[in-house]
Structure 1
Amino acid sequence: MTEITNLSLDLIESILSHLPIASLIQASTVCKLWHTIISSSSLSSLHKHQHKPWFFLHGIHNISSKNNQSFAFDPSSNSWFLLPTPQQPLHYPNNTSFIGTSSFFFITAPNFVYTPILHPLVWFSTPPLHFPRINPLLGVFKDGSFVKFIVVGGVRFIGNLVDIEDRLDVEIYDPLLGSWDLAPPLPADFRSGNSSSSLSSALFKGKFYVFGIYSCFVSSFDLQLRVWSDVRVVRPSGVVFSFLISCRESLVLAGVCNSPSGSSFTLWEVDETSMEICEISVMPHDLLCSLFDGDEDERFASLKCVGLGDLIYVFNEDYHRMYPACVCEIRSGRGRGGENSECYWRRVPQLPSLMNRFHKVVSFCSNVSLHSILGEGQHHGLH
Structure 2
Amino acid sequence: MSDRNPESSNLNALNRDVTESILSLLPIPSLVRFSTVSKHWRSIITSLPPSPSPSPWLFLFGIHNTSSFHNQSFGFDPLSHSWLRLPFPSLPSLHLVGSDRFLFSTAPRFSFSPILNPHWRPTSPLRFPRINPLLGVFPASSKLILVGGVASIGGLVNIDDRSPVQIYDSALDSWELCPPLPEAFRSNAHETLSSALCKRSFYVFDVTSCFISSFSLDTYTWSDVQTLRPPGLLFAFLNSCNDALVLGGMCYSDRGFSFNLWRVDQGSMEFSEIAIMPDALLFGLLVDSEDEDDAHRFTTLKCVGSGNLVYVFNQDAHKKYPACVCDIGVENGKCTWRSLPNLPSPLNKFHKLVTFCSTLSITDVFHSDEAHIGFAGLVW
Asked if these proteins are the same fold (TM beyond 0.5), I'd say yes
- Rounded to whole Å, the distance in 1 between the matches of 2:125 and 2:53 is 38
- Rounded to whole Å, the distance in 1 between the matches of 2:212 and 2:297 is 26
Report the alpha carbon displacement of residue 44 of structure 1 after superposing the two structures with TM: 3.4
Q: In the alignment, what sits opposite 1:35?
A: 42
In structure 1, stretches of 5+ residues that fail to align are: 334-339
- Rounded to whole Å, the distance in 2 between the matches of 1:319 and 1:262 is 22
Matched, 1:372 2:364: yes
Which of 359, 364, 379 pairs up with 2:351?
Answer: 359
- Rounded to whole Å, the distance in 2 between the matches of 1:13 and 1:374 is 16
- Rounded to whole Å, the distance in 2 between the matches of 1:134 and 1:4 is 51
Report the alpha carbon displacement of residue 107 of structure 1 after superposing the two structures with TM: 1.4
Q: In the alignment, what sits opposite 1:99?
A: 97
Which residue identity is paired with 1:69?
A: Q
Report the alpha carbon displacement of residue 164 of structure 1 after superposing the two structures with TM: 2.4
Name segments (4+ residues, structure 1) moved above 3 Å. 376-379
Report the alpha carbon displacement of residue 225 of structure 1 after superposing the two structures with TM: 1.3
Which residue identity is paired with 1:163?
A: N
Q: In the alignment, what sits opposite 1:270?
A: 264
In structure 2, stretches of 5+ residues that fail to align are: 2-8, 372-380
Report the alpha carbon displacement of residue 319 of structure 1 after superposing the two structures with TM: 4.2
Contact preservation (8 Å) 1:112, 1:126: yes
Which residue identity is paired with 1:238?
A: G
SS of the residue corresponding to residue 37 of structure 1 reads helix
- Rounded to whole Å, the distance in 2 between the matches of 1:183 and 1:303 is 32
Q: In the alignment, what sits opposite 2:165?
A: 170
Which residue identity is paired with 1:365?
A: C
Matched, 1:235 2:242: no
Change (3 A) 1:87 1:321: closer
SS of the residue corresponding to residue 106 of structure 1 reads strand
Contact preservation (8 Å) 1:65, 1:87: no
Contact preservation (8 Å) 2:142, 2:171: no
Q: In the alignment, what sits opposite 2:31?
A: 24
SS of the residue corresponding to residue 266 of structure 1 reads strand
Contact preservation (8 Å) 1:249, 1:332: no
- Rounded to whole Å, the distance in 2 between the matches of 1:377 and 1:44 is 19
- Rounded to whole Å, the distance in 1 between the matches of 2:339 and 2:69 is 30
Percent identity among equivalent residues? 54
Q: In the alignment, what sits opposite 2:273?
A: 279
With normalisation by structure 2, the TM-score equals 0.90
Which of 245, 250, 254 pairs up with 1:251?
Answer: 245
Which of 123, 127, 135 pairs up with 1:126?
Answer: 123
Report the alpha carbon displacement of residue 199 of structure 1 after superposing the two structures with TM: 0.6
Which of 65, 72, 97 pairs up with 2:75?
Answer: 72
Report the alpha carbon displacement of residue 266 of structure 1 after superposing the two structures with TM: 0.5
- Rounded to whole Å, the distance in 1 between the matches of 2:243 and 2:122 is 34
Which of 36, 44, 47 pairs up with 2:49?
Answer: 44
With normalisation by structure 1, the TM-score equals 0.90
- Rounded to whole Å, the distance in 2 between the matches of 1:142 and 1:377 is 27
Change (3 A) 1:19 1:126: same
- Rounded to whole Å, the distance in 2 between the matches of 1:61 and 1:35 is 37
- Rounded to whole Å, the distance in 2 between the matches of 1:26 and 1:304 is 33
Report the alpha carbon displacement of residue 321 of structure 1 after superposing the two structures with TM: 5.1
- Rounded to whole Å, the distance in 2 between the matches of 1:369 and 1:156 is 35
Which residue identity is paired with 2:64?
A: H
Which residue identity is paired with 1:348?
A: L
Query: Can you list the C-alpha shifts for 1:142-161, whole angstroms capped at 9, x where unaligned?
Result: 35xx4222100111222233
- Rounded to whole Å, the distance in 2 between the matches of 1:276 and 1:50 is 27
Query: Can you list the C-alpha shifts for 1:298-331, whole angstroms capped at 9, x where unaligned?
Result: 1001101101101000001114150000000000
Corresponding pairs, count: 360
Matched, 1:291 2:285: yes
Q: In the alignment, what sits opposite 2:112?
A: 114
